[in-house]
């Protein structure tokens, strides 16, 4: 952990959370973030977790597994209980913008969890995910690898987001389909 001004020291992060960080990785959690009852696992090397000021996480599992991966949670984003965010692979990024809201049991994963190999080659490699600013993911939404979600978007309860979501768009269903465009939501 870097000892930057305003960064939460790793020992303090461990007081309220279960933290396992392998050597050669970085955790940059703002002292102005609220991180409670979370489970953090970082394995591999060159991985980086960033939690910006005002972020509010409770009962969340954060996982970075691989080489040079990044998980970045933007300022003032609220992530609810039972959520799971995972960045795995090589140089894979999971970027969550500012002022978002993830309800309970949301899953955002850059990989499938296990490699599927055909003729000696992985056919399901991890891919980066970007979630824009002011995005609301309702209860039990799953966002899968390679997806980009635009600013001000909403995904309805239980949606499985397998394709990009445009800015100001509501999606719902499994797989998620566009319901409305040109929307904005208010907390």
Determine the Cα–Cα distance for residues 159 and 40; give it in Å rounded to an integer. 25
Q: Is 134 a catalytic residue?
A: no
Determine the Cα–Cα distance for residues 57 and 63; give it in Å rounded to an integer. 14
Q: Choose, from 114, 120, 123, 186, the residue flagged as catalytic.
A: 114
Cα angle vertex 6, ends 3, 11, to 5°?
50
Determine the Cα–Cα distance for residues 120 and 94; give it in Å rounded to an integer. 27
Alpha-carbon distance values, 136 to 22, 35, 75, 131 (Å):
32, 19, 14, 10
Q: DSSP class of residue 9?
A: P
Sequence length of the chain is 187
User: 22 with 42: CB under 8 angstroms?
Assistant: yes
Determine the Cα–Cα distance for residues 56 and 117; give it in Å rounded to an integer. 38
Annotated active-site positions, please? 114
């Amino acid at each position: 952990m870097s000892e930057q001004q305003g960064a939460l020291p790793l020992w303090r992060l461990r007081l309220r959370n279960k933290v396992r960080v392998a050597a050669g990785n970085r955790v940059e959690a703002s002292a102005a973030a609220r991180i409670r009852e979370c489970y953090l696992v970082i394995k591999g090397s060159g991985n980086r977790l960033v939690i910006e000021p005002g972020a509010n996480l409770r009962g969340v599992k954060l996982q970075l597994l691989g080489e040079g991966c990044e998980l970045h949670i933007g300022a003032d984003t609220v992530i609810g209980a039972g959520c799971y965010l995972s960045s795995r692979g090589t140089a894979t990024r999971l970027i969550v913008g500012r002022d978002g809201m993830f309800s309970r049991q949301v899953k955002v994963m850059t990989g499938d969890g296990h490699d599927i190999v055909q003729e000696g080659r992985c056919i399901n490699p991890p891919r980066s995910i970007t979630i824009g600013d002011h995005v609301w993911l309702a209860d039990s939404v799953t966002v899968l690898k390679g997806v980009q979600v635009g600013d001000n978007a909403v995904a309805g309860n239980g949606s499985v987001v397998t394709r990009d979501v445009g800015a100001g768009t509501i999606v719902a269903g499994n797989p998620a389909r566009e319901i409305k465009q040109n929307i904005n939501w208010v907390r």
